[in-house]
Each structure stands twice: as structure tokens, then as C-alpha cells.
Chain A
């Protein structure tokens, strides 16, 4: 073991944890079933039926194989492949997210460059930012009258704040020296913004974008549970209603993996724009 690098040792440990965890889970299932069989009430309500029990990992793996071998099948409104559901969620997240970026980054730039704008807008941002994005849902549904657009709006509203605040913070914190270099070279305001302020603030801005995409992916599940129809959030809720816990656990894992992929993509962008002073 001593000859292995830190990464290799971590990999081995991760693998052991996975196997150990799955084994414990698998082993814990029969005991649980036996315990629930005893309650009279559960028998009466039917909750003790075999399908309602927490499924063992082996069953989840079979389900995953089933779903992933045909992710894009479409058999009516309540029976679509996991790939289609994830695609719907990603479409909503990315639409809301990019609309938010389109507004947050330029506005953040202006706020960051102007101390007056910073001070004037700060109270609004401070009040609006802590509002749970789902609290906007009823208002959105009433005004927009479209469940899909309302979900996109909720994503928009939750991703705008970290990007706005980080952009403003990054732009305001650009070193005066670099601005002075731009000034001594007679760069105009647009050129200065693009060639000096943007690259200087990029690491902070991208950090904000990374936080936003993470929040957006958290929120979409809850939003889709509310608005229904399509999407991974709706899928989880629908399978719960079907008491298909195997599918619920499988979709939870899918949510995690997609979220990780989104985060990794922004992590790569972050590394690309990073610089050492």
C-alpha cells in the first residue's frame, strides 16, 4: 500500500466504501421487511406489500440497467425514459440559467463599476436574495399562466443572485493598477471592460456561475414536483405515487450524477480562467 500514490489510495478506499455500503444496505433489507410484517395497521393499509419496501441495491442496479439501456422511450405522459426526463430538466435549467446570466453579468458589471449603483441596488438584492425561489412559484403561475415557463422563471430567479453578486464583487475588486495600465494606454471604456476587467474578474464571475448552476439543479427537482408533467423532479414524484421505490432511488442517483457533471463542467471553466498573481 505504501507504494501507491495518494490518489490511488483514495480510489481504493472509495471502492471499499462503496462495496461496504452496498453490502450493508443489501443485508439490512430482509430485517426491515420482517419488522414491518408484524404491525397490524400496516397490513391493513397495504403498506407492508412487498413492492413498498425499500429495495435492495441489486434491484436498483437491475432497474438502472433497464432504464439506461433504453433512456429515450416515450410511452405516454406518465411513462417516459429517464433520458427524456433529464433532458426536460436540463432544458429548463439551462434556459433559466442563461437568461439569468444574460442579465446578471452585465448588470453586475455596472454595479461593480459604479459605487453609487452598488449602494443603491444593494438593499434590493439583500431582500430578494434570501427568498426561497419556490416562494415565487404561485406568483409566477398566476402571472405567466404556464407551468413550464413558471419553472424556468423559478430557475431564473434562483440563479441570478450568485452571478450578480459575484460579478459585482469581482469587478469592484479589480486591482487599480491594472485599470491604470489600461488608462495609460488610452483604452476606451468598452475595450477596458473586455480586455482588462473581464479577465481580471473572470475567476470570481465563474465562481458565481458555478454556485448558480448548483442551486438551479437543486431547485429544478422541487419546481418540477410542483408543476408536474415532465422532468426528473416530476419523475421522482410520479414514481413515489406509484410506490416504485426502486425507480425513486435510481432517479435520486441520476440527479446526483447530472449535478456532478454540471459542476465539473463549470469547474473546468474555472480552471481555464484562473490566474496566479
Chain B
């Protein structure tokens, strides 16, 4: 695992909580992501997903532990790691287009102005923003439109690693579907690696090669790594017919509904804390997990 494209080793994050004991968000988290892989992470609100992502982006320093990308330690932000922030983080004084050209010009300093604008316009169009809308300031755009500008800004820069923090949270089902397809298209055509936070189980199954499951904090852990045993290309309408779909879905829901709580706060002590790999496949009939998650009746939806 140490040879992974992105390898996270014994990551611990504590925050001083003002009075007395520190808040330990997660401890000794270790996992790897392969080049070209699409990984989603699921976990309840506040378990530390954004914190992990900020560390991967190089924006925050972990209390201890290291992140290696291509064998090199991540010690600060880089254009190789593009981020779609949970709160969009657009510059409110720039138009939608300028928010994107700002990023593209930073990535490709040698490009002519016209080329930068053309490239940016193309990516804005890809997320469905055209015409007059791209000249408006973020305050004059809807939440979903803002989110799309922020997606265009990250995609336009072709980073080696795309870090997405709930990138589709504010979108309606239709736009969400379109942009998910665009994301798969962009990702499929390149060597890009994607690490995405989401609260939507179905979205994760549609997009990911692997889903990481986090237990609740404090002392959250990346407890499981669930392989999505549904072949690509996947179509939204077709994957639900796949025999593995509900097997996986129920496993995820069961984890989020019950086990994320049961497993939370369990400190495994020192040493490696790698997630358990779960491979559920009806075709092979040899699921590595004995428990049959399909029988978990008291499932709780986590995405209201």
C-alpha cells in the first residue's frame, strides 16, 4: 500500500477545544488511493471528512502523520490537487467567468488571454452555464449555479488529483445527473484520480470504484473500504438492475445507520488502522463478509 499513488499514513487530527481535553477528530487513519481511481468517502456530518480533504489538499497540517502523493510528501497546496470546496469559495467580486479564468490563468500562465477565456467558457458550458449568466457575480447566481462555477473552476485545471467536497449538494436531481456524467467523462478520458465526499449513497455507487466508510467522531476511523463490483460504463437507470446494487447499497446504509455509531470511539490503539476491504459480489457468491447486510431491516436513510 505504500506504493499507492496517494498514501495516507497514520493521520491524526486534534483540535484544541479551549477548555481541558483536546478534540480528536480522527486518529491513525491510514489508507491508499491508486492512480486513476475514483474514491468516495461516506460518513456522518462532523466525522472529519472535510478535515481529511483539507489535509490532502495541503491546506491544513495534520497533528501527526503524512500524506504522500507520487511518493512525495504533501507539504502545501499545489495546482496538481484541485479542490471543489464545500462552500464553493468563489470570489464575490469577480464574475462567474472571471472566477474560472482566474484559476486557468494561474494554471497555464503562458496561454493568451483569449485562450484562457475560451477554455474557461467551454468548462462553464460543460456544467450548463452559458450566455448572460457567466458574466454575473456569485451573489446574483443561485446556490446551484455557484456550485457549478466552482466545479468548472476545478475541472478546467486538469489537476492530477481532484478533491471534491460534496460537489453536487446544492443541485437538483436533473443537473446533478448531467454533471455527474460530465465528471465521469472528464475522469474517464484522463489519468485523473478523484477523491470525493458525498452524503448520497446512490451517487457514490454510481461514481466510485471504491467507497471509504467513516465511523462517527470523535476518534473517527476509516473503517471499511467497499469495492463497487458493478462494471463500467454504468448507467443511472441500469445499475439498479444489477444484482450487486442492493447488496452494496444495503451494506452502506447499514453501516451508516447502525455500525458507524457502534464502531465509533473504538480506539484500536497504536499501529496500522487500515480499513477492512469489503467485496460484495453475487456473481462470485463468496462475499468476504459473512454477515448478510440485506437482512438488516432497520435501515435508516441518511440523506433526507
Contacts and interface: CB of A to CB of B under 8 A. Distances in A.
Interface of A: 177-178, 180-181, 183-187, 195-196, 199-200, 202, 273, 275-277
Given A186-B106, A195-B102, A275-B137, A180 B91 contact: no
Contact of B81 (A177, A184, A199, A277): A184
Given A183-B59, A184-B82, A185-B107, A277 B89 contact: no
Contacts of B76: 183
B79 A178 contact: no
Contacts of B81: 184
Nearest to B94: A199
A276 B83 contact: no
Contacts of B85: 177, 180-181
B90 to A, nearest CB: 8
A174 to B, nearest CB: 11
Interface of B: 57-59, 76-79, 81-83, 85, 87, 89, 91-94, 102-103, 106-107, 137, 139-140, 157
Contacts of A200: 91, 93
25 contacts: A177-B85, A177-B87, A177-B89, A178-B89, A180-B77, A180-B85, A183-B58, A183-B59, A183-B77, A184-B58, A184-B59, A184-B78, A184-B82, A185-B79, A185-B103, A185-B107, A186-B78, A195-B102, A196-B91, A199-B91, A199-B94, A200-B91, A273-B93, A275-B93, A276-B137
Contacts of A199: 91, 93-94
Contacts of A180: 59, 77, 83, 85, 89
A275 B77 contact: no
Contacts of B107: 185
B93 A187 contact: no
Contact of B106 (A187, A273, A277): A187
Nearest to A277: B92
Interface residues of A: mostly helix, strand, loop or mixed?
helix
A183 B58 CA distance: 9
Contacts of A277: 92, 139
B81 to A, nearest CB: 7
A275 B59 contact: no
B228 to A, nearest CB: 28
Give 10 closest A-B pairs by Cβ, nearest first: A276-B139, A185-B106, A177-B89, A275-B93, A183-B77, A184-B77, A275-B92, A199-B93, A277-B92, A186-B79
A185 B93 CA distance: 18
B83 to A, nearest CB: 5
Given A177-B85, A185-B102, A186-B106, 18 more contacts: A177-B87, A180-B59, A183-B58, A183-B59, A183-B76, A183-B77, A184-B77, A184-B81, A184-B82, A185-B103, A186-B77, A186-B78, A196-B91, A199-B91, A273-B93, A275-B137, A276-B139, A277-B92
Interface centre among A183, A184, A199 (most CB of B within 10 A): A184
Nearest to B57: A184
Contacts of A181: 85, 89, 91, 103
A228 B261 CA distance: 80
Contact of B139 (A178, A185, A202, A275): A275
A183 B157 CA distance: 14
Nearest to A175: B89
Nearest to A199: B93
A24 B106 CA distance: 66
Contacts of B92: 275-277
A227 to B, nearest CB: 42
Nearest to B163: A184
A199 B93 CA distance: 7
A273 B137 CA distance: 13
Interface centre among B81, B83, B140 (most CB of A within 10 A): B83
B110 to A, nearest CB: 15
A184 B139 contact: no
B83 A184 contact: yes
A25 to B, nearest CB: 48
A16 B157 CA distance: 62
A195 B103 CA distance: 12
A184 B79 contact: yes
Nearest to A180: B59
Contacts of A275: 92-93, 137, 139
Interface centre among B85, B92, B103, B157 (most CB of A within 10 A): B92
Nearest to B154: A184
Contacts of B83: 180, 184
A276 B94 CA distance: 11
B97 to A, nearest CB: 15
